[in-house]
Structure 1
Amino acid sequence: MADWERPKDLPYPMVWRKFTRTMSDGREHKFRIQDASQDMFDEIYDLFKVHFMTEEPICSVLGCSQCIEINKLISDMVNDEVSLKEMEIYWRSELRRKTLIVCFEEVPDGKDVLVSCNVMGVRTKGNLLKVAATGRALVAMNKIMEHIWLEVAKIYEAFNVDKYLSAYGLSVHRDYRGIGIGVEMLLARTEYCKANKIEFTVTAFTSKGGQRAGEKAGFDFHLSKLYSDIEKDTGVNLTGIKHDCIKDV
């Protein structure tokens, strides 16, 4: 099947959802979810480095190392310059394909605040998009994701589809967690699929928080696999991982 392209008659950027939340200050704050644009890349990149790679279960155990400057354990992905560069190349490629969505808090008389981003990508049968990897951490991540999607879930065969919307990370700023931002991002992904005529979306939820958000957004879990079994099947060392399993929808 030919590689996917976003319909040329679909406006870009589009706003996919708007919602409000009452915050700790007692005020109602406004948020919007929209397509990401090229000028947002640096801010998106920083969001993922600080609020995703250091906490996402698989990233955080791919060889943790001590960072004295901030006195905390951070992911080897952050210290692996080769993996970081390769991830940047991949994220930029998906941004050009217009498959990233972002959430902003709308700030009256000020600069809107980026609070979340979902890096997505459309996979087509025979043209599986994967992150070209030579960095140690990213090679291991790719191995796990390929195992889940191709060998275990078998998405194309199980659901009789020739394309689907996948994702390579959903990051929410720490200051905005616990108010349902992740759920709203997943609901926006459904709207994205409808507008782009994509019938199916798949995500490997790697953390308990992500799995709860998926349930609240109405996602159906297709499979669940223990990290201990993933470690055994792929040979990737996941010692120290703080969650039980991956759930795929």
Structure 2
Amino acid sequence: MEQGNRAVLVTGSTSGIGLAIARRYAALGYDVALHSFAAEAEVADLLASVAEGAAGRVRYLRADLSDPVESQALVPAAIAALGRLDILVNNAGIQKVAPVEAFPVADWDRILAVSLDSAFHAIRAALPGMVERGWGRIINIASAHGLRASPFKSAYVATKHAVVGLTKSVALEVAEKGVTVNAICPGYVWTPLVARQVADQARVHGLSEDEVVRTIFLGPQPTKAFVQPEEIAELCIYLSGDMARSITGSAISIDGGWTAK
């Protein structure tokens, strides 16, 4: 099958990593469904910019992944919009920083729902069609925190470790079905969200933004450089190709050497 005939859903794809991934698929001719919890009117300009550079169809799906009903309905909606689903990129995720004894239960539940449960629901709904056609790609955007821990991020670290485990388990189940399942584990990625966090941390700690970047954000990354969203997008494209058919059940680090230590 040519890539232009393949259909892709990227969850959490109206900003940052997810948007870079969706843009790259669209530019290469894939049919792409973007997703977020925002109303379509709120992201109309962004969708138009993706469609402008697209060689395939671009669709938008709204779903609040903290709601199990909406979460379970997302993949069926993508299949209805695109006619099929060949590639699923589970990118959506949220986090909160707090000591575990002070971690609000509501926040814990929401992080697990968005970052872990939604991936389960999406995989469960997408697999039958992929298996029936004998071809499919599932890519879970995990994190270096799926392989390493940091304090005060108990829910985020727990979900990312679980996503890596989910990846491996599902990969084994479909190893002979023509479907690969992999996790990408980025380190700190330069996104608008991180840019705002840098400014906030600088104010809180009385440091310059350059000091915050080097000591707080890039301290774990030996390269002392942020990963760019486009790097993750290119890795998704490679994993989506036929030459990546033997890569499955892998947690692939793209973290500036963080997990090499």
In the superposition, the TM-score normalised over structure 2's length comes to 0.30
Instruction: Please identify which structure carries the higher strand content.
Output: 1
Instruction: Please identify which structure carries the higher helix content.
Output: 2
